[in-house]
Structure 1
Amino acid sequence: MGLYAANKLITQARQLAAEYRRTMGKPLPGISNEIALHDGIHLLELEPADEGAVGYDAIDPARDGLKIQIKSRTIFDESKSGQRIGQLKVEQDWDAVVLVLMDESYEPFEIYEAERDDLLEYIDKASSSRAKRGALSVARFKIIGRLAWTREEGLEPEVWDNQAG
C-alpha cells in the first residue's frame, strides 16, 4: 500500500474515531495507538520496525538505529489531571519512548521523547506500585522527557537533528 493510501486511511480513522466518541460517549478501542504509530513515524521521520520486532515500534535511522517504543494519549479534557500512558515494556529491547499527544479530533499536538535510562531511573526510584510496573502519568513523562515536536513548530532541532542532508 502506498503512502497516499496510508495517509488517507489515517485521515478517515481520525474522523471515525472522533465521531464514534461523540456518538457513543467513549473512545473507539485501539484506534488512538494505530494513529499515534503512524503520526510518530511520519512526523519524526522514523522507519517502522520490522514485522515481528518485540518491544519497539520504530527505528531512527539518523541516530544509529535507535529503537523507539511509541505510546499515545488522546487528551479529551485538559482540566483532568492524572492521565496515564500505557505501561512501558521495561523488560524488552528499546532505547527510547515517544509519547504522541492527540486532541479530541485525534490530531497530534505534541510529541515527547524520553530515553530508556531516564525512564528506568525514575521507575527504580519511584515509590508507587504503578510506576514500578512501568505505568507513568503524562505529566511525569513530560518532566522526564523532552519536547520533540509541536503542531506549531514541527521538529525541535535540539532533539531531532535528522533534518540535515
Structure 2
Amino acid sequence: MPLYELEKLIAETRALAARYRETTGQTLPVTGEIARFDAARHLNLIPLEPREPGVDAVGSGAHADRRYQIKGRVIFNEGKSGYRIGQLNTSGDWTHVALVLLDANFEPYRIHEIHREAVLEALADSSGKRSRRGAMSVAKFEAISDLVWTRENGLEEQIWSND
C-alpha cells in the first residue's frame, strides 16, 4: 500500500475513533495500529510485516540494530492518574520499547523510549501480579524512559542519539 494511502486511512481512523468515543463513551480498539504508524513515521522505523512475536518495527540508519515493541495509550484526561500500558511481551526478541501517547483526537503528542534491560529491571523490582504479567503504568514508563519525540519539537536529537 502506498504511504500516502496509508496516511489517509490512518487520518480517517483517528477521526472515526475520536467521534466514536464522543458518541458512545467507548474506545475503538485501534490505538495499537495508530501508535505503530506514528512511531514508525516519527522515529524513522521500519514496520515488520509480518510481525514477529513482541517486535513491531526495526530501526533504520544509525539505529538499524534496534528492534521495537510499540505500545500506544490514549490519554483522555491528563489530570487523571492510573493509565496503564498494555501487557509487554517480555519474551519477545525486542531491544527497545516505544510508547506513543495520543490525545483524545488520537493524535500523537509524545513518544517515550526505553531499552529492554531497563524495562525488565523495572518489572522485576515491582511487586504484584500486573508487573509479573508485563504490565506497567504510563507514569512509571515515563519516569524510567527517555522522551524522544514531542509534537512541539519533533525528534529530540540529543536523546535519540544516545542509547
Deviation at 1:64? Answer: 3.2
Distance 1:52 1:108, change over 3 A: closer
Runs of 4+ in 1 over 3 A off after TM superposition: none
- Give the aligned residue type for 2:48: A
- Normalising by structure 2, we get a TM-score of 0.94
1:59 counterpart residue number: 58
Structure 1: which 5+ residue stretches go unaligned?
Answer: none
- Provide the residue aligned with 2:84 in structure 1: 84
Number of aligned residue pairs: give it.
161
Deviations 1:59-95 (A, max 9, x none): 0022233100000000011121110000110011100
Q: CA offset at residue 158 of structure 1?
A: 1.7
CA distance in structure 2 between the partners assigned to 1:133 and 1:22 by the alignment: 32
CA distance in 2: counterparts of 1:51 and 1:95, whole angstroms = 18
Query: 1:99-138 counterparts in 2 under 5 A?
Result: 99-138=99-138
Matched to 2:94, the amino acid is W
**Corresponding residue for 1:21?**
21
Return the offset for 1:127.
Answer: 1.5
* Secondary structure of the structure 2 residue equivalent to 1:57: strand
1:122 positional shift: 1.0
**Matched AA of 2:78:** E
* Residue of structure 1 equivalent to 2:45: 46
- Larger strand fraction of residues: 2
| Residue 52 of structure 1, CA deviation | 4.0
Q: Distance between the aligned counterparts of 2:10 and 2:48, measured in 1?
A: 19
For the residues of structure 2 that align with 1:3 and 1:77, how far apart are their CA atoms?
Answer: 31
Equivalent position of 1:33 in the other structure? 32
* Equivalent AA in structure 2 for residue 112 of structure 1: H
Instruction: List gaps (5 residues or longer) in structure 2.
Output: none
RMSD: 1.3
Amino acid at match of 2:18: A
- Cα deviation digits, residues 83-138 of structure 1 (max 9, x gap): 00001100111001000000000000000001100011111111222112110000
Q: Percent identity?
A: 47
Q: What is the Cα deviation at residue 55 of structure 1?
A: 1.2
Three-state SS of the structure 2 residue aligned to 1:159 is: helix
Cα distance in structure 1, aligned partners of 2:158 and 2:13:
32
User: What is the rounded CA distance, in whole Å, between the counterparts of 1:78 and 1:52 in structure 2?
Assistant: 32
